[in-house]
Amino acid sequence: MTAATTRRHNPADDGLNEELVALRHTVEEFAHEVVDPKMTENYRNHTFDYDIQAQMGEMGLFGLPFSEEYGGMGGDYFALGIALEELARVDQSVAITLEAGCSLGAMPIYRFGTEEQKQRYLPDLTAGKALAGFGLTEPGAGSDAGGTKTTATLDGGRWTINGSKQFITNSGTDITSLVTTTAVTGTREDGRKEISAIIVPTDTPGFTAEPGYDKVGWNCSDTHPLSYDDVSVPEENLLGARGRGFAQFLSILAEGRVAIAALATGAAQGCVDEAVAYAKQRTSFGRPIADYQGVSFKIARMEARAWTARQAWRTAARKMLTGADFSTEASIAKMVASDAAMDNARDATQVFGGAGFMNETRVARHYRDSKILEIGEGTTEVQLMLIARSLGLAG
């Protein structure tokens, strides 16, 4: 039993209605009873767990932010954030599979797809029976996603795509059905690249998910480089308006930052949970180390970071749901929460001492996993740039 399950009151329930509290408790139970027992072995073997994936689908987690019309649960990003936070307290690889499956995989089609595209792809994606990738990042186009070099040429009613992508989550599993791909489709009047988004089914000839990466962390998440060699898809696979692909993906990334902030908050809180439990049972010089102020104050700061991160992502999510511009709040939440996850992982490892350096502990996984939270879906530096610009400063 962890500190999370022995608390008299869980601050994660604050401000939630009965439905969201029930969702949080359900996912918390699933994370501890189903996910956690398998993750030490999965992490060691870099195993993408299809059984856990299927169970999350059966629970309706992949459908949380989508309407019932397309097989979803009729919820929103706030509900998705609650689920992500609980999963990430135990394991980030499983949480990022859900986050990317919803906000990066299915959401572009939900937001910008035609009715035919939605009916064709969303039911399996929202049920967790299929996954989709978000083909944006390239070897020369990371934070500068406008530097896209992948091209798509329209001829005879078909797009021919050539190029490559890298660091694409959920792109090479046995159930990955498509990758929404950004490509240069022409030149604007001002000389800038015209970038469009195109749906590429993974069984299309010329599309290849290259061997997966040997990563520092997120070992149980699926991540691949992708190659496009004269990949031909119908003209109607264009997602949204031609030339709007870059703008669409910026919108998707803003929403995704709220989801990543929720995930990072879970990681930060998970480190608190583990540090509290360990400090109470580990003795030194005849006393539990929790009795020493140096340890208790360190954990208190960890709790403050997790609490602050939770307020940040929930504030951004609530503003998103009003329809108002939430981009600055999303950047603040993403930065604050990812910093909290990384700082708490470091401090929790210090509380554990040598035991925290062993991969079978959750804090060791969090230590390895959390760094990417300061990089993926917009680096900390990008978030600072966006926040500065919102203040009228140079960014």
pLDDT tens-place string over residues 236-261 = 999 999 999 988 988 999 999 999 99
| 67-110 residue pLDDT tens | 999 999 999 999 999 999 999 999 999 999 999 999 999 999 99
| 360-374 residue pLDDT tens | 899 999 999 999 999
Q: How many whole angstroms separate alpha carbon 87 and alpha carbon 71? A: 22
Per the confidence metrics, is the pTM higher than 0.75?
yes
Stretch among 54-58, 127-131, 142-146, 333-337 having the lowest mean pLDDT = 142-146
Confidence of residue 358 (pLDDT cuts 50, 70, 90): very high
Average pLDDT over residues 185-206: 94
pLDDT of amino acid 6: 44
132-243: CATH topology: Butyryl-CoA Dehydrogenase, subunit A; domain 2 (2.40.110)
The β-bridge relationship of strands 131-135 and 176-187 is: parallel
| 213-228 residue pLDDT tens | 999 999 999 999 999 9
Is residue 5's pLDDT more than 80?
Answer: no
Q: Residue 132 forms beta bridges with which residues?
A: 178
**Residue ranges per domain, the chain?**
3-130, 132-243, 247-390
**Separation in Å, CA 104 to CA 101, 259, 294, 323:** 6, 10, 42, 20
pLDDT of amino acid 145: 65
Angle subtended by helix axes 327-352 and 380-390, to nearest 10: 140
Average pLDDT over residues 32-52: 96
Q: How many whole angstroms separate alpha carbon 374 and alpha carbon 344? A: 13
| 330-353 residue pLDDT tens | 999 999 999 999 999 999 999 999
Is residue 289's pLDDT more than 70?
Answer: yes
Average pLDDT over residues 8-28: 89
Confidence of residue 143 (pLDDT cuts 50, 70, 90): low
Q: Which CATH number fits domain 247-390: 1.10.3720.10, 1.20.140.10, 1.10.1060.10, 2.40.420.20?
A: 1.20.140.10
Q: Active-site residues: which are they? A: 377
| Residue partners of 393: CB distance under 8 A and separation at least 6 | none
Does the domain at 3-130 match CATH 1.20.140.10? Answer given as no
